[in-house]
Structure 1
Amino acid sequence: MKSLLKSATALAGVLVAGSALAADLPRRVAPPPVFTPVPVFTWTGFYAGFNAGYGFNTADTRAPTVIGVPAGTTAANSVFINQFGQPATGVVAFGNRNSNDGFVGGGQVGYNYQFTPGSGVVVGIEADAQYVDFGRSRNRFAFATVPGGGIAPGTQVFNPNGISGLDFFGTVRGRLGYAWDRTLVYATGGFAYGSGGGQDFGLPNSSRDNFQTGWVVGGGVEYALPTDSFFNFFRSSAVTLKVEGLYVNLDQGNRNNGVFAQTANGTQYSVFSPSVVSVGPANLYRRETEFAVVRAGLNYKFNGF
């Protein structure tokens, strides 16, 4: 019995000592949670995309051009004669009409730099090239003769209609804007260029290909799609949508070189004959191609969030 008692006492002592030792050991503490910061969106980076929209004319192109045709030395080389059959001075009035409106579509590439990611000033540069499906401009004319006179016998009169239009245009523009996270509002402006063919119908017929240069200004709003957006098919934060408006002004010499009259002795008169003098608005001598474009576009930004 005494042995049993001693054994129990010894066991109790071991248990008490073990508990005391365990109390002195350091406790295991769960590690603190790790929080991964959400990347801040930045507009910095290269991008490329495509766009489509509508362009429409902004200039009044219906004003006439009136030119004076001098009298010849004889009735045989004069376009006009007076009531006595003598050479006389007359005038010719040309009417112009231009219809620049239709589909516009193309692509663009560019680079943006945002000074402070998240919200802040954004600067950039963009170049684009656009196909244009515009209507064609037309030039028509009508004779106005001297009172009591008319066109000299043997003179042939032609209707030198001309058509010209824009086939494509492009721009190289700077961009300056302010971003509120994924929304960017910007202004843009810079250099513009374009080209289009044309034909003059008269004597002789002629054709031309006009390359024009000028300037462009505009502005727009661009939005970067979140990765969980239904419209973000790439499941990437690098897809952006934009709506943009531009005003384009291209300087163009719209010259109708077709002959409008040939006298009985073969002398030809065109708008640019040395002896022809403008006596009214000279819209056939120099004209500007002016139009506005409203378009929507999609871009893919190649690097960054």
Structure 2
Amino acid sequence: MKKISLVVATSLIALGAVSSASAADLAPQPYTKAPPYVAPAPIYNWTGFYIGGHIGGAFGGSDNILAPGFGGGNDGVFMGGVQAGYDYQFAPNWVIGLEANYSFLDTNSSFANRGLGSVTGRLGYTWGPALLYAKGGYAWADSRFSNGFGGDGGRDGYTVGAGLEYLFTQNWSGKIEYQYYNFGDVNVFDSLGFVGSFRNDQHTIKAGLNYRFNLGGPTVARY
């Protein structure tokens, strides 16, 4: 009988030790505060078509007899026009595109360019909502002038430029741009014959506003 009592007592002591260890294992863990939520940075998407308008100023080169301000100190004239194009973003911060634009020049001269048009490719680098780009391609001058200038009706040439564009809402962007146009040399005649050859080039500075389709706003990086 004593042996049975001893076995029972030993078993009860062992069971109590196991219960105490289990209770210790189930003790509440110390509270750890969760890290604050940080929203992923938006990735702006420039891919899509756009249309817009611009205003600015046009200035002729120093040797340009067809400068918009010719005869009035060659101080330049007001310009305004429209543009349309398509951009594609890749790799992932580069943007390539194609743009056509036309600018009307505010001049009453009968022997100055009345308008400037171009079809250009452009390549840019974007960070966030900003896009820095360069452009270049075909240019055309509306030179429907008289007084004996060659090339009446328009002249072909080339253009290069650069600008900064900023996507400030879901579908709207604004830009500031410089563009240089070169239409080669123009031969000038008067009643006595050939007078000379002059370079027909223009410098323009403009600010523009674009409405962009199919952007859908900034996308968010997924992890």
TM-score, structure 2 length as denominator?
0.69
Return the letter of the residue paired with 1:216.
T
* 2:161 alignment partner in structure 1: 218
State the partner residue of 1:245: 178
Whether 1:133 and 2:106 are equivalent positions in the alignment is yes
Tell me which amino acid in the other structure corresponds to 2:162: G
SS, match of residue 197 in structure 1: coil
**Aligned partners of 1:100 and 1:253: how far apart in 2?**
21
User: Shift in Å at residue 290 of structure 1?
Assistant: 1.2
Deviation of the 1:134 alpha carbon: 3.9
- Call closer, same or farther: CA 1:243–1:207 in 2, change over 3 Å: closer
5+ residue gaps in structure 1? 1-35, 63-95, 137-162, 227-236, 260-269, 273-283
Q: Is the 8 A contact 2:63 2:199 kept in 1?
A: no
Contact in 2 for aligned 1:102/1:134 (Cα 8 Å): yes
Structure 1 residues 30-84: Cα deviation after superposition (integer angstroms, max 9, x where no partner): xxxxxx978632111111100000011222358xxxxxxxxxxxxxxxxxxxxxx
Verify the 8 A CA contact 1:56 1:100 in the aligned structure 2: yes
Residue equivalent to 2:84: 109
Shift of 1:198: 2.5
* Residues 219-271 of structure 1: per-residue CA shift (max 9 Å, x gap): 00000013xxxxxxxxxx01000000011111253432x42xxxxxxxxxx31
Query: What aligned pairs does 1:271-286 form with structure 2 within 5 A after superposition?
Result: 271-272=193-194, 284-286=195-197
Pairing 1:99–2:65 present: no
Q: Does 1:195 align with 2:121?
A: no
- Relative to structure 1, is the Cα distance of residues 219 and 303 closer, same or farther in structure 2, using a 3 angstrom cutoff? same
Matched, 1:121 2:94: yes
2: CA distance, partners of 1:207 / 1:191: 20
How far apart in 1 are the matches of 2:107 and 2:204? 12
Which amino acid letter does the alignment assign opposite residue 178 of structure 2?
A: G
AA aligned to 2:111 is S
Using structure 1 for the length normalisation, give the TM-score: 0.51
Counterpart of 2:209 in structure 1: which amino acid? L
Maintained 8 Å contact 2:46/2:89: yes
Following the alignment from structure 1 to structure 2, what is the Cα–Cα distance between the partners of residues 208 and 125?
Answer: 28
Structure 1, residues 97-127: CA drift from partner, whole Å, max 9, x if none?
Answer: 783720111000011111045xx01111100
Tell me what 1:72 maps to: none
Matches within 5 A, 1:127-166: 127-134=100-107, 136=109, 164-166=111-113
State the alpha-carbon separation in 2 of the partners of residues 135 and 291 from structure 1: 17
Equivalenced residues, count:
174
Secondary structure of 1:184 counterpart: strand
User: Which structure: larger Rg?
Assistant: 1
Give the aligned residue type for 2:48. G
Amino acid at match of 2:193: V
Could you tell me how far apart the structure 2 residues matched to 1:209 and 1:242 are?
Answer: 33
CA separation of 1:101 and 1:135: change in aligned 2, threshold 3 A: farther
Aligned-residue offset at 1:292: 0.6
Paired residue secondary structure (1:210): coil
Aligned pair in 2 of structure 1 residues 165, 182: CA closer, same or farther (>3 Å)?
A: same
d(CA) in 2 for partners of 1:207, 1:285: 11
| Partner residue, 2:125 | 178
Paired residues of 1:121 and 1:178 also in contact (CA < 8 A):
yes
Distance 1:121 1:212 in 2: 33
- Counterpart secondary structure, 1:59: coil
RMSD: 2.9
